[in-house]
Amino acid sequence: MSTQIDHLMNESRKFAPSAEFAAAAVASADLYESANANRDDFWATQARELLHWHTPFEQVLDWSNPPFATWFADGELNVAYNCLDRHVEAGNGDRTALLWEGENGDERQVTYAELTDEVSRVAHVLEDLGISVNDRVAIYLPMIPEAIVAMLAVARIGAVHSVVFGGFSADSLRARIDDAGAKVVITADGGYRKGKVSALKPAVDMALADRGNGVQETVENVLVVRRGGNEVEWQEGRDLWWHDVVPAASAAHTAKAFPAENPLFILYTSGTTGKPKGIVHTSGGYLTQAAFTHRNVFDLKPESDVYWCTADVGWITGHSYVTYGPLANGATQVIYEGTPDSPHPGRWWEIVEKYRVTTLYTAPTAIRSFMKIGRHIPQKFDLSSLRLLGSVGEPINPEAWMWYRSVIGADLAPIVDTWWQTETGAIMISALPGVTETKPGSAQVAVPGVAIEVVNEAGETVANGDGGLLVVTEPWPSMLRGIWGDPDRFVETYWEKFAAQGYYFAGDGARRDEDGDIWLLGRVDDVMNVSGHRLSTAEIESALVAHEATAEAAVVGASDEATGQAVVAFVCIKESHKDVLKDTDALVKNLRTWVGEQIGPIARPRDIYIVTELPKTRSGKIMRRLLRDVAEGREVGDTTTLADTMVMSTIQSKVTGKK
Ligand code: WTA
């Protein structure tokens, strides 16, 4: 971490917005002024201006029972109506909402009018299946228009979606279905990934079969989109083809109003324990901040922009900046099903050229992998339509930022580095394009209406130039309302550390530079960030330990040039299974596959070291800090608190022997 800080300390380049960009910018410095004058009034104004309220609200923030907030609680709205019908009613029904590109070259363009009809039909189908207000629907789909349609259809009838990333395994899906008690699962036969069809339906079948876990089955129906064309098994009575039931349903569906605090979705994310947390977001406040930030941070001109956020709807970025923010704002956006390098390494840039994308929002890990392949690939394409670039998910190192700016943005397009989390629901820290002078590597300033501090362990604000922990000091509209079914964990995880001050603890380290700008320094807890995806060390450890040969396991996140961090595991084998040690290569391969099956391919460790013992303190706590030193090839730090100081040298020789 310290080398990173030193490195960042030396970064002093600044880029002012061009006069031309500034003159036409959506955002203005006035936003800060009005937010500072009265935060609640500011958000109330945004909520009224950006959204349609069936029943206008009088109440803004209720913070009388912290940390449980409500926003606009006496107001009523329909989230799907805000994303669809009202644009059609305003005469924009013919505007393209989605420009979809399948990995295999399939294309579909969907207007706002068509999207409204399709969502209405699916809303009827779900109602016919018995789904109503507050029921949970799991969505496990590839990046196809139906993913967005499904989310909006659930929202339209006041139900709650839980989108599960298509890369998660059957076991992960099952855990999420059970935790939320989903009644319906919406999936596809398969989708295109890396040049071939990757099946999804079998994972759903597995998640719902052989339920020896004592949990009552809640799923009554599975709605299946045909996309991959692959063979699937069918359970009569439970499974329904989307193409059989959706086109037959009526496109006339009245969007009823629901209270602003009606839950909109649950999204599971990794925490510091083995069990993922079901983050709960509600409707009015969430949509207000998603729409506000999407408009101002991405300088949205809905009539002329072609916006492209490369995130999958399985992550929060896909919720707020593919589905809800852009559609609430009437944007035209690109959706791409596949991987960036299928069938060729220039695929993304080909898409930018083809659709004349103006705004690109992606993750540093993608930028770094393009950097590695070389600028000659993007330079083959016409990227002149790009006028704004965004980054999210992990700290962007200044080199990647500069490459993004010069190679992709032609040294003209402003870059917004946006810090936020599944829990915050929407962007919290970012430059405002056209307003803020940007700095490579710094997320910079809280967005208007959001209050951020960097504090020390005692909760005191640090001086400019110093580092500490990132906190949010005031409630914000899109804040998580809790963890599904676990209010205690919600309070403990986010609010206990700075209970005296009433601050939200984000779990990130940060520092302020001499100008007061914020630089994010990565997680300070046992959460890893691999290619912008959150993974928990505890979750991977428990997957490893669930393998019959494993006695004990420790997992650390080691810094990795391409993926930010990489998963590195240290595993001890049971005495009773020591036969497997005869072929460690096979064992390691087997364990990697196992983790992939238990959680999903993204969680597979980059390296697995088979060791005889783990470094532990006298009280039995695994010292991951030392393992991280080994994994990152550093000299091992202070080992004096270890119960057995020899353990580390044995591990070290094992690891270096291997490399
Ligand atoms: C990290 C993704 C530095 C951070 C939207 C946070 C970032 C976690 C940035 C949340 C950024 C996200 N700079 N770090 N611009 N954006 N992070 O829940 O550690 O998947 O806590 O939400 O990603 O990840 P999540």
Which DSSP string do the residues of 118-179 spell out, in sequence order?
HHHHHHHHHHHTT--TT-EEEEE--SSHHHHHHHHHHHHTT-EEEE--TTS-HHHHHHHHHH
Q: Nearest-5° angle of CA 393, CA 394, CA 396?
A: 120
Does 419 carry a binding-site annotation?
A: yes
Residue 547 in marked binding region: yes
Atom number of ligand 1 nearest to Cα 520: 3
658 φ/ψ angles, rounded to the nearest 5 degrees: -80, -35
CATH of the domain at 608: 3.30.300.30
Cα separation, 361 vs 363, whole angstroms: 7
For the chain, how big is the Rg over CA atoms in Å? 24
Give the ligand 1 atom nearest the CA of 534: 20
Residue 144 within any structural domain of the chain:
no
**Ligand 1 binding pocket mutation candidate from 520, 521, 526, 536 (most atoms within 8 A of CB):** 520
Cβ neighbour number for residue 380 with a 10 Å cutoff? 14
Atom of ligand 1 nearest to the CA of 396: 13
The verdict on residue 547 lying in a domain is yes
Q: Distance of CA 530 to CAs 601, 606, 658, Å?
A: 12, 11, 23
DSSP string, 598-647: HT-GGGS-SEEEE-S---BBTT--B-HHHHHHHHTTPPP---TTBS-THH
365 CA from centroid of ligand 1 (Å): 12
CA 397, distance to chain mean position in Å, is 19
User: How many angstroms separate the alpha carbon of residue 84 from the centre of ligand 1?
Assistant: 29
Helix (H, G, I), strand (E, B) or coil at 27: coil
In short, whether 392's Cβ falls inside 6 Å of ligand 1 is: yes
Helix, strand, coil abundance in the chain, percent, nearest 5: 35, 25, 40
314-318 long-range contacts, CB within 8 A, separation 24+:
314/163, 314/164, 314/165, 314/166, 314/167, 314/168, 315/165, 315/267, 315/422, 315/533, 316/267, 316/269, 316/279, 316/420, 316/421, 316/422, 316/425, 317/361, 317/392, 317/393, 318/163
Closest residue by Cα to atom 22, ligand 1, is 421
User: Is 18 annotated in some ligand binding site?
Assistant: no
Both structure tokens of 426? 């929407």
Strands (E), 200-321: 221-225, 239-241, 258-259, 263-269, 277-282, 307-309
Strands 467-472 and 307-309 come out as unpaired
Question: What are the contacts of 573-578 at 24+ separation with CB within 8 A?
Answer: 573/549, 573/610, 574/548, 574/549, 574/550, 575/551, 577/548, 577/549
In the chain, what's the furthest Cα-to-Cα distance?
74
Q: Measuring from atom 25 of ligand 1, which residue has the nearest CA?
A: 421
Q: Is 602 among the domain residues?
A: yes
- Alpha carbon dihedral 447, 488, 267, 189, in 10-degree steps, equals 170
Residue 608 lies in a domain: yes
CA angle 103, 106, 110 (to 5 degrees): 110
**SS (HEC) of 85-117:** HHHHHHHHCCCEEEEEECCCCCEEEEEHHHHHH
Integer Cα distance of 518 and 498 in angstroms: 20
Count of Cβ atoms closer than 10 Å to residue 410 Cβ: 12
The reply to whether 388 falls in a domain is: no
Distance (Å) from CA 626 to ligand 1 centroid: 25
**564 falls within a domain:** yes
Domain membership of residue 615 (yes or no) is yes
- CA 193 to ligand 1 center in whole angstroms: 25
Which residues neighbour 475 within 8 Å (Cβ) at sequence distance 6 or greater? Answer: 61, 63, 66, 69, 71
Residue 560 has φ and ψ, to the nearest 5°, of -140, 130
pLDDT at 10: 61
Alpha-carbon distance of 247 to 121, in angstroms, equals 7
The C-alpha atoms of residue 509 and residue 444 are separated, in whole angstroms, by 14
The per-residue pLDDT for 75 is 98
Counting beta carbons within 10 angstroms of the beta carbon of residue 486, is it exposed (0 to 12), middle (13 to 18) or buried (19 or more)?
middle
Minimal CA–CA distance to 170: which of 129, 138, 132? 138
Q: Determine the pLDDT at residue 275.
A: 84
Would you state the pLDDT for residue 542? 86
**pLDDT-flagged residues of the chain (< 70):** 1-10, 211-213, 657-659
Q: Count Cβ atoms below 10 Å from residue 94 Cβ, excluding itself.
A: 10
Report CA(271)–ligand 1 centroid distance (Å).
13
394 marked as part of a ligand binding site:
yes
Distances, alpha carbon 375 to alpha carbons 157, 194, 378, 396, 397, in Å: 47, 22, 6, 18, 17
Which atom from ligand 1 is nearest to the alpha carbon of 315? 20
Say yes or no: CB of residue 526 within 6 Å of ligand 1: no
Residue 607 lies in domain: 531-658
Phi-psi region of 330 (alpha: psi -120 to 50; beta: other; left: phi over 0): left
Nearest atom of ligand 1 to the alpha carbon of 423: 18
pTM as predicted = 0.92
For atom 7 of ligand 1, which residue has the closest CA? 394
Distance 170 CA to ligand 1 centre (A): 26
Distance of CA 13 to the CA centre of its chain: 29
- Tell me the three state secondary structure of residue 519: strand
Which residue's C-alpha comes closest to atom 11 of ligand 1? 419
Minimal-distance CA residue to ligand 1 atom 12: 393
With 0-12 CB in 10 A as exposed, 13-18 as middle and 19+ as buried, what is 542?
A: middle
Pairing of strands 136-140, 160-163: parallel
Nearest to 614 by CA among 565, 568, 548: 568
Q: Which two tokens stand for residue 599?
A: 């959680």
What is the DSSP secondary structure assignment for residue 207, as one 8-state letter? H
Q: Is residue 458 part of a domain?
A: no
Number of structural domains the chain divides into? 1
The mean of the pLDDT values for the chain is 94
Neighbouring C-beta atoms of residue 644, cutoff 10 Å:
12
Decide whether any atom of ligand 1 lies within 6 Å of the 507 Cβ. yes
Out of 310, 394, 565, give the residue to mutate to test ligand 1, the one with the largest number of ligand atoms within 8 Å of its CB: 394
ipTM of the prediction: 1.00
Identity (one letter) of the amino acid at 506?
A
Q: Does residue 179 have a known ligand-binding role?
A: no
**How many whole angstroms separate alpha carbon 210 and alpha carbon 636?**
46
